[in-house]
Amino acid sequence: MENLVILKNNEATVSTFVLFKLLGYKEHRALKKVIKDNISNFNDLGLMQLEINKPPKGSIGGRPEESYILNEDHFILLILLCKNTKETISLKVRVSNEFSRMKKIISKIASQQQNQQWLEIRDSGKIDRRIETDTIKEFVDYAFKQGSKNAKRYYMNISKMENKALFLVEQKYKNLRDVLGVVDLLTIQQADRIVAKALNDGMNQEMHYKKIYELAKERVIMFAEIRGQSTLNYLTQI
């Protein structure tokens, strides 16, 4: 079952976009109207924030839609204002449990980031990350010279490739490296080195830029197969 409560700017939140059908509303705007009609009460519990939701992948037409981002107090007030049905009660229990566990996650992450060993490894990893980023910059310039039109995407694509190969991520994080444990930080640090070396090897051999990326990907996957993937789901680890 997918988690409804997620971390956003180090706060546990839930979006009205994922709630409205579960609360029995046919349209998202109907649930948002409940909030708009009581916006001052919601703002008293923390300034309401909006985010843009893109249309579902593969959908034809459709426009981006705004949704409210709720903290735990916002959610409780919303539930009190909605119709009291079996679905509403069940959802309240589910989301309340998720909020409770997410607060434990936030506490665990905060505690981890005060650990001296973690801080030293995180700082060390930042050095390798900068070396990798500098190498990616050279690689992007190299790819442009070979005719690539979208080479700048490699900054994001390489990060996604590393994360996907090394970790099974079941929760979204603003910066995945900030929530990794010591062992996983050392793993991603090694992967950064592997990528930087592969990019340099490929450019030195004057390979085509697409082949160079595939070389880096193959080496990271090989490393991941030796090491094994880590499942990053704090909701099941606490």
pLDDT at res. 109: 79
Phi first, then psi: give them for residue 45, nearest 5 degrees: -100, 10
Identify the domain containing residue 231 by its residue range: 113-237
> Between residues 65 and 134, which one has the greater pLDDT?
134
Tokens of 236: 């099941």
Least confident of 9-13, 26-30, 77-81, 220-224: 9-13
177 Cβ neighbours under 8 A, 6+ residues apart: 122, 125, 129, 185, 188
What integer is the mean pLDDT of 207-219?
A: 97
CA angle, corner 153, sides to 146 and 198, nearest 5?
65
Same domain (yes/no): 55, 171: no
Same domain (yes/no): 103, 148: no
Same domain (yes/no): 159, 223: yes
Same domain (yes/no): 75, 10: yes
27 in a structural domain: yes
Domain count, the chain: 2
Same domain (yes/no): 124, 233: yes
1 in a structural domain: no
Confidence class for position 108, pLDDT limits 50, 70, 90: confident
Residue ending a domain, among 69, 91, 111, is 111
The whole model's pTM is what? 0.66
pLDDT tens for 128-143 read 999 999 999 999 999 9
Residue 237 has pLDDT above 50, yes or no: no
Same domain (yes/no): 74, 122: no
Same domain (yes/no): 101, 196: no
Same domain (yes/no): 147, 188: yes
Residue ending a domain, among 81, 111, 141, is 111
